[in-house]
Chain A
Amino acid sequence: MAIATATQVSNPLPQADIANITGSKALLEALIAEGVETIFGYPGGAIMPIYDALYDYHDQLKHILVRHEQGGIHAAQGFARSSGKVGVVFATSGPGATNLVTGLADAMIDSTPVVAITGQVYAHLLGTDAFQETDVINITSPVTKWNYQITDAAEIPAVLAKAFYIARSGRPGPVLIDITKNAQLQLFAYSGYQKCNHIRSYRPKPIIRKEYIEEAANLINAAEKPFVIFGQGVILGNAEKEFTNFIEKGGLPAAWTILGLSALPTDHPLNMGMLGMHGNYGPNVLTNDCDVLIAVGMRFDDRVTGRLDKYAKQAKVIHLDIDPSEIDKNVKATVGVWGDCKETLPLLTQLIESKSRTAWIQRFKDHDAEENKEVIFAELHPDTPVMTMGEVIRNLNEISGGDAIIVTDVGQHQMVTCRYARFNQSNSNITSGGLGTMGFALPAAIGAKFGAPERTVVAIIGDGGVQMTLQELGTILQTEVNVKILILNNHFLGMVRQWQQLFHDKRYSFVDIASPDYVKLAEAYGIAAASIESRDQLNDALSKMYHHDRSYLLEVNVGKENNVFPMVPQGCSVSEIRLK
């Protein structure tokens, strides 16, 4: 007792808890405090002190060495999308940091929570064109939700707390923290980590106004032909259940943007399919026929709306979004309901009348039947000698049962996969929607598997996109992560070729792309592989890929000049969608 008292007297302040640690160590402590377990990254000169500290943390933080920083950030995005957590990526200064830019832009436009940590030259060298110095803060400002340069280690705990709070709250997005080398090395008095839950200048969620909910409910109740269109806001808000309750009570047919895909199971009777340029026939045509259009957590991208001045002009528009700047941005809302749809949807559900709207839903089914006759049946059950992408996806559905995480790249295969893949649960569709980043799928699939290790991850990629980030096969080799790679090879940059065929008189300008021998390539990386060309091999090959206990690459050679239909040509209205 006497000793304790003596101790207290000699330490009147709780300074016993304050230890001198380096900035690097404080950074790793911050990551642990934020629940981070997996980091994707690539070392280099200006981030070496952090990697040195990481050496002692290998049992708490798993670091995945990627083959290129772009692969690192796409993996962090895939991780975030499959797990719902913040993805973390490390890169060094200069080229390491600039290689992150595509992924940051992708995460920005697709609202993916990512924290990127970049090394930077010593503070005294800033602005001197030092070795591997780039002005990463200014380069990344337009493509980050927030960014900050740390030059003093004492800033690290508070800035990291802010970074994670900003990345994951409100409308999520990427945050970049640039840390000068001196700050990484610097010892400072560390008094622990405190999570951030408030920044006075930052409102992650607008305040919900009941009167707008009431107005919206009145519009829905008075509607004869209400139509719900939803996006990733439902997934990001963990509001799948609230959303389903809403449409079920109101008997509201619902269609999704490609980022909203998987929020509502494919089999749900109110799931009317996909919106937009290559979306389904009914949802596009009936957008210009509904009387009330209810947009939930989506942002009216031009690929969804087609020509804006002919978009849903007859309808009253209700727009639910967490980001106030999205309301009225592209489509003028009759009623803007600001707020997190997790909170606004239940309030709206309470006020709407329970209805079935059979006749209205039948209109969607009629359009569906026509689309099926004109497009879908031939795509899924072709009588052509060459395989179609659609039949590959149909076969995959039978094998996966709709339980896989499907990661797609960009182009024809992406549209076909989004149209035909089955999903039973949310957070299962990972694709580069807003930015359309070719090369996204392979690294994102690696990240997705780390984010959801218990699930099967299938990356579906075209022969163009896969050659953009092929180097990440090395990451698979080293980490032995179990990712299924399904290459749909049409020996063309297919989507561009389709446009050249339809809109440029078939002048095929640099879309004829050669591929390496993918089987040999995979084997060089220790990945089992096969390549098929005929339909009778398809089911067995897919099944073998799917059930293989390790990574597997399957190349399926499909029809060279197949097109994706339906299609809303650019500059046309959604109701001018073409079936062929």
Chain B
Amino acid sequence: MKQEYTITVYTENHIGLLVRIATIFSRRKINIESLNTSPSEAEGIHRFTIVIVETEEVVRKLARQIEKQVEVLKAYYNNNEEIIWQELALYKVPTAQIAEKVKVERLLREHGARAVVIRNDYVVFETVGHREETDRLVQVLAPYGLIEFVRSARVAIIKESRGFHEKLREFEQAEPMGELIENEFLNQQKEIFSM
């Protein structure tokens, strides 16, 4: 069954890695719904957050292809139940409309929007939330002359994760030793992907 999966990739900061990761999807004609790069909890380690809609089997194979890249330390994948996620959205609305129509003000308040910039000609609001929530606000604002709308990529925290610090120390060992278990996924395929 296809569903949303969030792939979290811990990487070195390397020019060209984005292309290598992107082509793993494009080569297989898989659309990336959302892609975010940011620093991670571990110093010097970058974190890609990629959202796709696919079956678990395909996602597992993609994660292994991603991990195969030299600069990738680890790729995890999770369904929506296993993560906490947010997206940020910005809405530019004509100031006149907001000033004149009480209803707009109420809508913005109901959707938890916060004013970021207020000018004579327009106001920029932001919301943070899931895609359905931001989409709903776009729909209700549309009749009131929404000038611009933009939504960020998803950022996500893995509920079960204990962070990457410990893992990074393992990776830094010159000769990984026997006790280190790398392909534990074989025991717990349902849980966080790991290899």
Residue B72 interfacial (CB < 8 Å) = yes
Contact A202 B70 (CB under 8 A): yes
The residues of A that contact B174 with a CB separation of less than 8 Å are: 197-198
Known: A148-B16, A202-B70, A212-B186. 18 other contacts (CB 8 A): A137-B16, A138-B19, A141-B19, A142-B20, A197-B174, A200-B73, A200-B172, A201-B11, A201-B71, A201-B73, A203-B176, A207-B176, A209-B186, A324-B68, A324-B195, A325-B67, A328-B60, A329-B64
The residues of B that contact A166 with a CB separation of less than 8 Å are: 70
Contact A329 B61 (CB under 8 A): yes
The residues of A that contact B61 with a CB separation of less than 8 Å are: 325, 328-329
Contacts of B132-190 to chain A: CB distance below 8 A: 168, 171-172, 174-176, 178, 180-183, 186
Cβ of A362 to closest chain B Cβ, rounded Å = 36
Contact A142 B70 (CB under 8 A): no
Residue B65 interfacial (CB < 8 Å) = yes
Residues of chain A at the chain B interface (Cβ within 8 Å): 137-138, 141-142, 145-149, 166, 197-203, 206-207, 209, 212, 323-325, 328-329, 336, 338
Contact A203 B182 (CB under 8 A): yes
> CB-CB contacts of B19-32 with A at 8 A, as 1s and 0s?
11001000100000
Cβ of B60 to closest chain A Cβ, rounded Å = 8
Contact B16 A138 (CB under 8 A): yes
The residues of A that contact B16 with a CB separation of less than 8 Å are: 137-138, 141, 147-149
Residue B12 interfacial (CB < 8 Å) = yes
7 closest Cβ contacts across the A-B interface? A325-B64, A200-B171, A201-B73, A207-B182, A146-B70, A198-B174, A202-B70
The residues of B that contact A200 with a CB separation of less than 8 Å are: 12, 73, 168, 171-172
29 A-B pairs whose Cβ atoms sit less than 8 Å apart in the complex: A138-B19, A141-B16, A142-B20, A145-B70, A147-B16, A149-B15, A166-B70, A200-B12, A200-B73, A200-B172, A201-B11, A201-B71, A201-B72, A201-B73, A202-B70, A203-B176, A206-B182, A206-B183, A207-B183, A212-B186, A323-B68, A324-B67, A324-B183, A324-B195, A325-B65, A325-B67, A328-B60, A338-B182, A338-B183
We find that the number of chain B residues with CB closer than 8 angstroms to chain A is: 31
Residue of A nearest to B177 (CB): A207
The verdict on A209 contacting B183 (CB below 8 Å), with A138-B16, A201-B12, A325-B61 known, is yes
Residues of chain B at the chain A interface (Cβ within 8 Å): 11-12, 15-16, 19-20, 23, 27, 60-61, 64-65, 67-68, 70-73, 168, 171-172, 174-176, 178, 180-183, 186, 195
Contact A209 B181 (CB under 8 A): yes
The residues of B that contact A329 with a CB separation of less than 8 Å are: 61, 64
Contact A207 B186 (CB under 8 A): no
The residues of B that contact A207 with a CB separation of less than 8 Å are: 176, 178, 180-183
How many angstroms from the CA of A202 to the CA of B182 in the assembled complex?
Answer: 13
Residue of A nearest to B185 (CB): A324
Cβ of A480 to closest chain B Cβ, rounded Å = 39
How many angstroms from the CA of A207 to the CA of B194 in the assembled complex?
Answer: 13
The residues of A that contact B70 with a CB separation of less than 8 Å are: 145-146, 166, 199, 201-202
How many angstroms from the CA of A199 to the CA of B71 in the assembled complex?
Answer: 9
The residues of B that contact A323 with a CB separation of less than 8 Å are: 68
How many angstroms from the CA of A145 to the CA of B67 in the assembled complex?
Answer: 12
Cβ of A173 to closest chain B Cβ, rounded Å = 10
The residues of A that contact B183 with a CB separation of less than 8 Å are: 206-207, 209, 324, 336, 338
Cβ of A553 to closest chain B Cβ, rounded Å = 40
Residue of A nearest to B66 (CB): A325
Contact A336 B186 (CB under 8 A): yes
Cβ of B63 to closest chain A Cβ, rounded Å = 9
Contact A142 B171 (CB under 8 A): no
The residues of B that contact A198 with a CB separation of less than 8 Å are: 174-175
The residues of A that contact B27 with a CB separation of less than 8 Å are: 142
Residue of A nearest to B74 (CB): A201
Cβ of A214 to closest chain B Cβ, rounded Å = 13
Residue of B nearest to A198 (CB): B174
Cβ of B168 to closest chain A Cβ, rounded Å = 8
How many angstroms from the CA of A453 to the CA of B66 in the assembled complex?
Answer: 40
The residues of B that contact A149 with a CB separation of less than 8 Å are: 15-16
Contact B71 A206 (CB under 8 A): no
Cβ of B102 to closest chain A Cβ, rounded Å = 53
Cβ of A398 to closest chain B Cβ, rounded Å = 45
The residues of A that contact B186 with a CB separation of less than 8 Å are: 209, 212, 336
Cβ of B141 to closest chain A Cβ, rounded Å = 39
How many angstroms from the CA of A138 to the CA of B20 in the assembled complex?
Answer: 9
Cβ of B180 to closest chain A Cβ, rounded Å = 6
Cβ of B191 to closest chain A Cβ, rounded Å = 17
The residues of B that contact A148 with a CB separation of less than 8 Å are: 16
The residues of B that contact A212 with a CB separation of less than 8 Å are: 186
Cβ of B17 to closest chain A Cβ, rounded Å = 9
The verdict on A201 contacting B171 (CB below 8 Å), with A209-B181, A212-B186, A324-B195 known, is yes
Cβ of A365 to closest chain B Cβ, rounded Å = 37
Residue of B nearest to A210 (CB): B178
Contact A324 B176 (CB under 8 A): no
The residues of A that contact B65 with a CB separation of less than 8 Å are: 325
The residues of B that contact A338 with a CB separation of less than 8 Å are: 182-183
How many angstroms from the CA of A336 to the CA of B64 in the assembled complex?
Answer: 14
How many angstroms from the CA of A441 to the CA of B115 in the assembled complex?
Answer: 68
How many angstroms from the CA of A203 to the CA of B181 in the assembled complex?
Answer: 13
Residue of B nearest to A327 (CB): B64
Residue of A nearest to B72 (CB): A201
The residues of A that contact B175 with a CB separation of less than 8 Å are: 198
How many angstroms from the CA of A421 to the CA of B68 in the assembled complex?
Answer: 35
How many angstroms from the CA of A212 to the CA of B186 in the assembled complex?
Answer: 10
Cβ of B27 to closest chain A Cβ, rounded Å = 7
The verdict on A325 contacting B73 (CB below 8 Å), with A137-B16, A209-B183 known, is no
Cβ of B181 to closest chain A Cβ, rounded Å = 7
Cβ of B73 to closest chain A Cβ, rounded Å = 5
Cβ of B51 to closest chain A Cβ, rounded Å = 21
The residues of A that contact B15 with a CB separation of less than 8 Å are: 149
Cβ of A178 to closest chain B Cβ, rounded Å = 10
Residue of B nearest to A202 (CB): B70
Cβ of B91 to closest chain A Cβ, rounded Å = 35
How many angstroms from the CA of A198 to the CA of B183 in the assembled complex?
Answer: 20
Residue of A nearest to B57 (CB): A328
Cβ of B101 to closest chain A Cβ, rounded Å = 49
How many angstroms from the CA of A142 to the CA of B27 in the assembled complex?
Answer: 9
The residues of A that contact B72 with a CB separation of less than 8 Å are: 201
Cβ of B75 to closest chain A Cβ, rounded Å = 11
Count chain A CB atoms within 10 A of each CB in B27, B64, B183, B195 and give the residue with the most.
B183
Residue of B nearest to A207 (CB): B182
Cβ of B46 to closest chain A Cβ, rounded Å = 11
Cβ of A308 to closest chain B Cβ, rounded Å = 13
Residue of B nearest to A147 (CB): B16
Q: Which of A138, A142, A197, A206 contacts B195 (CB 8 A)?
A: A206
Cβ of B142 to closest chain A Cβ, rounded Å = 39
How many angstroms from the CA of A328 to the CA of B183 in the assembled complex?
Answer: 13
